[in-house]
Amino acid sequence: MALTSTALSWARHPTNKISSSYLFWSLCLISLGQGGYNPSLQAFGADQIANDDALPSTKDGQKSNKKSLFFQWWYFGVCGGSLAGVTVMSYIQDTFGWVLGFAIPTIAMVASILLFWCGRRIYAYKQDDAISERPSRDIVRSVKEVLSKLMNSRITLPNNNPEVVELE
């Protein structure tokens, strides 16, 4: 919603530096958000399925794999959502306008957040021994190490090396 209003205000006043930087930072935050929950959401869903359950047998006597079934339905949902987003939402935006076209995904996202929040009591919580008690300290240490590696790396390129052949 904020990104849409920013884009519309920038379209009205493209010379405004504040609105263009706000648009840029909005896009950066969206990419960080997508990178934060997309990889972990699928793993979180699969983590809810216990491995030691008594799995039902199939016709040939083999045990069915609940996690495999979860990932199949997950992928079907992702592909179905992409198809609906490209076709149905494009049709709604072209036919009924952008307001309804953005209102429907907003309502769907709020509903999914509420549904996720309401189910928090039944989620399986597993304590991992490898997780640090102070993750912020580990993050800061990792950032410091990466920055020190970048600052101390000395890459020199040869100026006129006769062994280097340029292709034209």
Q: What's at 72, amino acid-wise?
A: Q
pLDDT above 80 (res 143)? yes
Residue 161 counted as domain residue: no
Residue 27 counted as domain residue: yes
Q: What's the total number of domains in the chain?
A: 2
Distance (Å, whole) CA 145 – CA 151: 10
How confident is the model at residue 19, as a pLDDT? 61
Residue 143 counted as domain residue: no
Other Cβ atoms less than 10 A from the Cβ of 19: the count is 19
How confident is the model at residue 104, as a pLDDT? 92
Residue 151 counted as domain residue: no
Residue for token pair 């993750």: 135
How confident is the model at residue 85, as a pLDDT? 87
Q: What is the mean pLDDT of the chain?
A: 76
Q: What is the pLDDT of residues 105-125, one digit of tens each?
A: 899 989 989 998 998 888 877
Whether 76 and 117 share a structural domain: yes
Residue 73: closest CA among 47, 42, 32: 42
Residue 137 counted as domain residue: no
Distance (Å, whole) CA 73 – CA 87: 21
Residue 101 counted as domain residue: yes
Distance (Å, whole) CA 30 – CA 24: 10
Residue 134 counted as domain residue: no
Residue 103 counted as domain residue: yes
How confident is the model at residue 64, as a pLDDT? 58
Whether 78 and 117 share a structural domain: yes
Structural domain boundaries, residue 115 = 66-121
